[in-house]
Amino acid sequence: MRPREITSSIEMFAARTPTLLPATHTNSYALGGRDVVLVEPATPYADEQRAWLDWARSLASRGRRLVALVATHHHPDHVGGLEVLRRELGVPLWVHRATRERLDGVLVDRELEEGDEIILEGPRRERWRVLHTPGHAPGHVCLLEEGAGALVVGDMVASVGTILVAPGDGDMRVYLEQLERLAALSAKIALPAHGDPIDDPSAIFRRYVTHRLAREQKVLDAVAAAPAAGADLAALVAEAYADTPRHLWPIATLSLEAHLEKLVDDGEVVRCDDGSSARFRSRDGFVGEGR
């Protein structure tokens, strides 16, 4: 059912997007009881854009005024409808500076930075605080409304599928640090881009950290078992992700690379290129188990 009321001042609209399976939709959120920001102008599909616009325009009939569009980050399943939806609604676009730099010349009306507040007037004045949460993407932001304990989390976690931390955009160390930071907020409800709202956000943030660290240990063990000349990505993914279906190994390889980048920076793994591909081995004297 869409739209879906989450609270008296928050609505969710799930639109079909080219996202990472098993997720098939990206959630947009209308935040505010009177003044409203719309988070995630996500869908690139014309039929879904028409439905999204009908929803956005219907807010006025309920006494709500559109203030701006916000994108949590620059990935295509979050900004695929940005230019069309913005043009049709005639509202400004607010994103983090690092997101603006990745939007290929799209006009940004306000750059959101850590600690900024989005003030929304209404039956209850809402203050949505901007949290810069890189790790999944350089310009990723979350929005926290402390009065209601509501936290828009974009792609930091999901209640369907998983979150990819990939080389280039992603940084595994920073991602883990930001998850710990979000867990410490003790929010009451998290609003993810994929899947249903999450009633115990701190628990899921900590589960993600635990899962990632367990996978990191599997990567370390795989590297420790490699020959002296090191192992390439194909060999390491087969070992470290042996519990993952083989058809998912191409995606798993991206996560593997993100873990390896962190471990190389930590000094626990050494990268040694053989001229044709990157290979990885344990640091001299380092044993993966029981680190």
* pTM attached to this predicted model: 0.93
Q: Candidates 3.90.180.10, 1.10.10.10, 1.10.1660.10, 1.10.340.30; correct CATH number of 216-282?
A: 1.10.10.10
Class of domain 4-199: alpha beta
- 99: pLDDT confidence band, cut at 50, 70 and 90? very high
Instruction: Kindly report, as residue ranges, where domains of CATH 3.60.15.10 are found in the chain.
Output: 4-199
Query: Is the pLDDT confidence value at 132 over 50?
Result: yes
Structure token digits, residue 169: 């955009």
CA–CA separation, 8 and 136 (whole Å): 30
SS (H, E, C) 137-195: CCCCEEEEECCCCEEEEECCCCCCCCCCCCCCCCCHHHHHHHHHHHHCCCCCEEEECCC
Chain-centroid distance of CA 137 in Å reads: 7
Instruction: Kindly report, as residue ranges, where domains of CATH 1.10.10.10 are found in the chain.
Output: 216-282
Q: What percent of the chain has pLDDT over 90?
A: 91
Tens-place pLDDT, residues 5-42:
999 999 999 999 999 999 999 999 999 999 999 999 99
Tens-place pLDDT, residues 199-247:
999 999 999 999 999 999 999 999 999 998 899 999 999 999 999 999 9
Query: Is-contact 17 28, C-beta < 8 A?
Result: no
The larger pLDDT score, comparing residue 148 to residue 288, is at 148
Instruction: Give me the chain's average pLDDT, please.
Output: 94
